[in-house]
Structure 1
Amino acid sequence: MPELLPAIDIAVAIEPSDFLGRMAEIGRKSDHFDVEDMRESAGGPDLEITNFRFKKKSPHDGLGFQLIAHKDDPHRISVEVRASDWSPNPPTRSVYCEAAKHLTGELLKVYNKTYGARLRLRIVSNDHHRFTMTKRTASLLGSFTVLANTSSLHPLDWRRFYALVREGRQEIPLGELRVALRQAGFSAEKADYLSELYEHLWAFKRL
């Protein structure tokens, strides 16, 4: 099984939309990124996203990252690094973290200097083993992710997704599932949607 990639975020004290707008402006001025502001078009009312596509040379093809603001956690902006082809593929935890620091470091430095802030990346540690997936849970999740059409789920894909809830005796935390789905090739929007649906189904199951 690929190494579990950590959740990464930034704690902010202003409105998420304002933060995303400021970072988008800094990214464009840096000339290191093609910036796509998706705040008005992606994820619906509960999600705001800004894409940063890295234009410079990198060992990873199609490297970039997303800043994602979730309505249910407005003071933490998620950072998700993406590449069309990692080196190595899939990326190790250290490679993923290094890419996140490399991509966001200069932008945050400019942000802090411009706005008198002290923002930094928070990389969630895996050292404390907050959640350990059982073989059965891993098997059910693998059955879904390996065979799923990540762009448009087939009825059989949905059947395997529901089996993950129905047959599973262990609930996967929302953040852990979101990371696993992103590693499997789902977009940030679809990973968020499926993770939240999974959480709702488990809440119903507990009833």
Structure 2
Amino acid sequence: MAELLPNIDVAVSVELVEFLERMARLGEESDKFEVERHCIHPGQRRTDIVNFRLIGESIHEGHGFQLIAYDDRPGRVNVEMRAARWLPDPPTKAVYIEAARGLAGELLRQYNREFGSRYRLRIGARHGKAFAMSELTTTLLERFTILANTSSLHFYDWQRFYALVRESRQEIPDYLLRSHLTKAGFSTQRAVELAEIYMHLWAFKKLR
């Protein structure tokens, strides 16, 4: 069973969007990251996301992290570590925390030096039991993976993928979804892309 990974966030005193933009700029100027900005704003609530993809070498394939700010959680920015393939995969809690301190933590220290702040990563255990996939989620996932054209999804494949989000009451952890997709025959890159789409769809679903 995969080890339970911790929640990581940063308590900030400035506007969330301003903090994200400052971090994005620092990431770009460092020449260490490819930076992507996203905003999900389907209604009254808004979610801002900044992706930091590591350019240099790492023991983890496709390594990076995300900063996520929900406008209904003022003063809090979530930090989520990403990798197309971890070493080991899935990552242990210790490996995940080390990655957070090495990437997000280092950029945050640079932020503190430039803006005279004292922000830090807040690392805490997730509440509850380890993730256990329900029968419904398992059925929906298998329906998609077994029937999908792994090289090029067609219309009905996408319908089954959307159903995995729409009909399930569980959000599958990123690393676990990627593992299932690669085992089903998807390339590592395609599994990462689908996992990111899945994450954005769930973010939209939570705003409803």
* Alignment TM-score, normalising by the size of structure 1: 0.72
Give the Cα separation in 2 of the matches to 1:36 and 1:160: 24
- 1:131 aligns with 128
Alpha-carbon distance, 1:74 to partner: 2.5
Contact 1:34 1:52 in 2 (8 A): yes
Taking the aligned partners of 1:146 and 1:161, their CA distance within structure 2 comes to 15
Q: Residue 200 of structure 2 aligns to which amino acid in structure 1?
A: E
2:106 aligned with 1:113: no
Pair 1:155–1:106, CA change in 2 (3 A): closer
Conservation of the 8 A alpha-carbon contact between 1:144 and 1:157: no
Number of residue pairs aligned between Structure 1 and Structure 2: 178
Identity level (%): 38
* Residues in 2 aligned to 1:10 and 1:146: alpha-carbon distance in whole angstroms: 36
- Inter-partner Cα distance in structure 1 for 2:94 and 2:138: 23
1:189 aligns with 2:164: no
Distance across 1 between alignment mates of 2:68 and 2:164: 29
Q: 1:153 to 1:61 in 2, by over 3 A?
A: same
Partner AA of 1:189 in structure 2? H
User: Unaligned 5+ residue runs, structure 1?
Assistant: 166-171, 201-207
2:9/2:123 contact within 8 Å kept: yes
Distance 1:31 1:157, change over 3 A: closer
Tell me what 2:190 maps to.
none
How many Å apart are 1:87 and its aligned residue? 1.1
Question: Could you say which residue in structure 2 is the equivalent of 1:203?
Answer: none
1:43 to 40, 44, 49: 40
Matched, 1:82 2:82: yes
TM-score (norm 2): 0.71
Decide whether aligned partners of structure 1 residues 160 and 15 sit closer, same or farther in structure 2, where only a CA change above 3 A counts. closer
Change in Cα spacing, 1:147 to 1:115, as seen in structure 2 (3 Å) is farther
**Distance (whole Å) between structure 2 residues aligned to residue 109 and residue 85 of structure 1:** 26
Instruction: Give the C-alpha shift of residue 100 in structure 1.
Output: 1.0
Q: Check whether the contact 2:69–2:76 (CA below 8 A) recurs between aligned residues.
A: yes
SS of the equivalent of 1:4 reads coil
Name the aligned partner's letter for residue 43 of structure 1.
Answer: I
